[in-house]
Amino acid sequence: MEQKNMNRPVRVIQFGEGGFLRGFADWMLQKLNDEGLFCGSVAVVQPIREGLCDLLTAQNCTYTHIIRGAEGVEQTRIDVISHCVKPYEDFEAYLKLAENPDARFIISNTTEAGIEFRPSDRATDTPPESFPAKLTLLLKRRFDLGLQGFILLPCELIDRNGDNLKRTVLQYAELWNFGTVFAEWIEKDNVFCNTLVDRINTGYPKDEVIDLGYEDKMVNTSEFFHLWVIETDYDLESELPFSRAGLNVIVTNDALERYRTRKVRILNGAHTSMVPYALLSGFDTVKSCMDDAQMQAFIRACLFEEIIPTLDLPREELESYAENVLVRFSNPYIKHYLSSIVLNSVSKFRVRVLPSILEYRARFGSYPKHLLFSFGKLIAFYKHGTPNDSPEIVERMRSLSVAEILSDRTLWGEDLSDMTEEVAVYADSSVG
């Protein structure tokens, strides 16, 4: 292992040591350091009892990140992490992170369920269970010392993650009677950013032998594409100059929702619109779909003819993003099984595809034929395929007629009877 630069102060406290943050935020911070744009390091907090911090510490918190795709292969040594802290073993060491005046940023990725309020958590717990409760105690130590607040960049995949995190912290502050002055400090001295993250990190290559010339049990892999949209009024680029390092980070004060819609409708919408049709047709991975001319043509038609025309960002930007999505779908190093994407397809279709269908009708006065075909194949898959959903949803989809399914407000949030005739043709036809 290479000797890391120990002269960089800890400027980032990071909750989470998994493959995503190490191949996303830490990779970006490494880029900033390497470009001489950020002289700082990261203290990693293991937010749960069991994790990877022991493995990371055993190799001096240094690891190799490998980016792979149709574009080629890029290998980077990541040494931006200073040390790891395990609150369940040494809670005081965790709280002492708040005493460092150089610490400026808090980054987190504690899964979608991580930002939650648990009334059973107590201020005397060492530590409390939830991530926001742990964070509240860290912030209270910071406040008591009269130090500057933090800029918080949560990466959890929930809507308005920064707003939700701040609200939950304030709930704990109230529950624990920390006082109005502390609550005001949370509001005024800390910046809670809403963020959107997008990168496929494939983690440790368990089924491969990669000869690095040295042992690395924490090697991490990802695709080339990366996107971090950060919504804030604060001049974040003055402290983290991502754009100067050539990173695909967008700092905006009002456009996060448009980028979230872009991702959900294009990337997630493409997945959800093709998967039932693809599984009924015998495909097993996303790449196998991209390798088939007919299936790729269907995906492209959904994206460029029917989804993109319903979105409000510049057409050139949307088309560029969609082309990137197709490149990502074709990545030879990523085995993305359709069987994993198909989980809860009804609820996914309602969020990811149905809005495009309804917006297309509103704008153009007719329904998009490829997305209606997809809707029909979704119903056919639940009736004749192997859906992975709640027993209640599966039973309802199998027992009801197409007309009854489309008029069921509990499934779609509204009555979709007016598209019954067209969807029924696709639901009842042969696969092709």
All residues at 6 or more sequence positions from 315 whose CB lies less than 8 Å from its CB, including other chains: 308
Kindly state whether residues 315 and 225 are assigned to the same domain. Answer: no
Kindly state whether residues 223 and 288 are assigned to the same domain. Answer: no
Kindly state whether residues 294 and 361 are assigned to the same domain. Answer: yes
Tell me the CA distances in angstroms from 216 to 204, 206, 209, 210, 318, one per residue in order: 10, 12, 12, 10, 39
Kindly state whether residues 380 and 250 are assigned to the same domain. Answer: no
Q: Are 308 and 318 in contact (CB under 8 A)?
A: yes
Q: Are 24 and 116 in contact (CB under 8 A)?
A: no
Give the chain's count of helices (H) and strands (E): 20, 12
Kindly state whether residues 224 and 79 are assigned to the same domain. Answer: yes
Kindly state whether residues 327 and 369 are assigned to the same domain. Answer: yes
Q: Which of 232, 254, 276 is the last residue of a domain?
A: 254
Q: Which of 221, 254, 287 is the last residue of a domain?
A: 254
Kindly state whether residues 214 and 236 are assigned to the same domain. Answer: yes
Kindly state whether residues 69 and 111 are assigned to the same domain. Answer: yes
Kindly state whether residues 179 and 273 are assigned to the same domain. Answer: no
Tell me the CA distances in angstroms from 170 to 112, 113, 235, 342, one per residue in order: 19, 18, 24, 37
- Give residue 430's pLDDT: 54
All residues at 6 or more sequence positions from 191 whose CB lies less than 8 Å from its CB, including other chains: 149, 150, 151, 152, 232, 234
CA 315 to CA 336: how far, in whole Å? 28
- Give residue 86's pLDDT: 98
State pTM to two decimals. 0.83
CA 137 to CA 132: how far, in whole Å? 9
All residues at 6 or more sequence positions from 91 whose CB lies less than 8 Å from its CB, including other chains: 126, 127
CA 150 to CA 169: how far, in whole Å? 13
Kindly state whether residues 324 and 388 are assigned to the same domain. Answer: yes
Inside any domain, residue 4: no
* 409: containing domain: 257-428
Inside any domain, residue 311: yes
All residues at 6 or more sequence positions from 24 whose CB lies less than 8 Å from its CB, including other chains: 155, 197, 199, 201, 222, 226, 228
Inside any domain, residue 1: no
**SS3 label, residue 15:** strand
* Residue 305 token pair: 């003819």
**SS3 label, residue 343:** coil
The candidate with the shortest Cα–Cα distance to 89, out of 139, 135, 48, is: 48
Distance of CA 104 to the CA centre of its chain: 23
Kindly state whether residues 165 and 201 are assigned to the same domain. Answer: yes
Kindly state whether residues 170 and 113 are assigned to the same domain. Answer: yes
Inside any domain, residue 2: no
CA 296 to CA 163: how far, in whole Å? 38
Q: Which of 254, 275, 300 is the last residue of a domain?
A: 254
Count of Cβ atoms closer than 10 Å to residue 243 Cβ: 12
CA 198 to CA 211: how far, in whole Å? 28
- Give residue 115's pLDDT: 93
CA 235 to CA 61: how far, in whole Å? 30
Distance of CA 162 to the CA centre of its chain: 14
CA 37 to CA 14: how far, in whole Å? 19
Q: Are 272 and 348 in contact (CB under 8 A)?
A: yes
CATH number at residue 148: 3.40.50.720
Inside any domain, residue 423: yes
256 burial via Cβ count (<10 Å: 0-12, 13-18, 19+): buried
* Number of domains the chain is built from: 2
- Give residue 1's pLDDT: 41
pLDDT one digit per residue (tens) for the chain, 432 residues: 444 556 899 999 999 999 999 999 999 999 999 999 999 999 999 999 999 999 999 999 999 999 999 889 999 999 999 999 999 999 999 999 999 999 999 999 997 678 999 999 999 999 999 999 999 999 999 999 999 999 999 999 888 999 999 999 999 999 999 999 999 999 999 999 999 999 988 788 877 878 888 999 999 999 999 999 999 999 999 999 999 999 999 999 998 998 999 999 999 999 999 999 999 999 999 999 999 999 999 999 999 999 999 998 899 999 999 999 999 999 998 888 898 888 889 999 999 999 999 999 999 999 999 999 999 999 999 999 999 998 999 999 999 999 999 999 999 999 999 999 999 999 986 555
Locate all alpha helices (DSSP H) within 291-432, ordered by sequence: 293-300, 315-329, 338-341, 345-352, 354-364, 369-384, 391-399, 402-406, 409-412, 420-428
CA 34 to CA 319: how far, in whole Å? 32
CATH number at residue 419: 1.10.1040.10
